[in-house]
Amino acid sequence: MPDGLTPDQAAFWAAFLASPAAPADARARFHSVFSIGEGSDAGAALVLSGAKTATSSLPGDFAPGAAPVPGSLSLLTAAAGRPVAIVETLSMAPMSLGDMDADFRAAYAEWPDTASFLRGTTDWYRGLDPAFTADTPLLAERFRVIWP
């Protein structure tokens, strides 16, 4: 069992491992527990609905060499750390907001147009790093829900 899981998260991970959806090497592919928008139910709902299939992170959110890679499995949580899905990383690429194309912005699914996407993501990241700009490097991730 991965370290640091709450009892509910550990039970969810164990149920996934017992399911036909779990690849044989799932234990070795576990990466992390994460949430969208500080663990909001709204962010989790976007992922569960299939609308949100992309996100981004500051490179400093991960130890050097510890960012998810294609094939990584992570446990998505909603409010209060409640486990809701297992997601698989499909791609991870360094990219600034200014480099994110219309397809990626649509897959982000949190804002309806380019202007609000740039405003919303910039505001979010400035809350984490006041020096953040649209040119600040990010890690752009594509993912898919694999369970349930």
Q: What is the pLDDT of residues 9-66, one digit of tens each?
A: 999 999 999 999 999 999 999 999 999 877 689 999 999 999 999 999 999 999 898 9
* Per-residue pLDDT tens digits for 68-83: 999 999 999 999 999 9
- Exposure string of 34-70, with b = 16+ CB inside 10 Å and e = fewer, is bbbeebebebbebbbeeebbbbbbeeeeeeeeebbee
141 located within any domain:
yes
13 located within any domain:
yes
Model confidence at 110, pLDDT cuts 50, 70, 90, reads: very high
Provide the pLDDT for residue 1: 74
Q: What is the spatial distance between Cα 30 and Cα 23, in angstroms, rounded to a whole number? A: 11
For the chain, the domain total comes to 1
Q: What is the spatial distance between Cα 84 and Cα 100, in angstroms, rounded to a whole number? A: 27
1 located within any domain:
no
CATH code: domain of residue 128 = 3.10.400.10
Provide the pLDDT for residue 2: 85
Q: What is the spatial distance between Cα 147 and Cα 125, in angstroms, rounded to a whole number? A: 29
2 located within any domain:
no
Domain that holds residue 74: 7-147
Q: By the 8 A CB rule, do 73 and 21 touch?
A: no
59 located within any domain:
yes
pTM score: 0.94
61 located within any domain:
yes
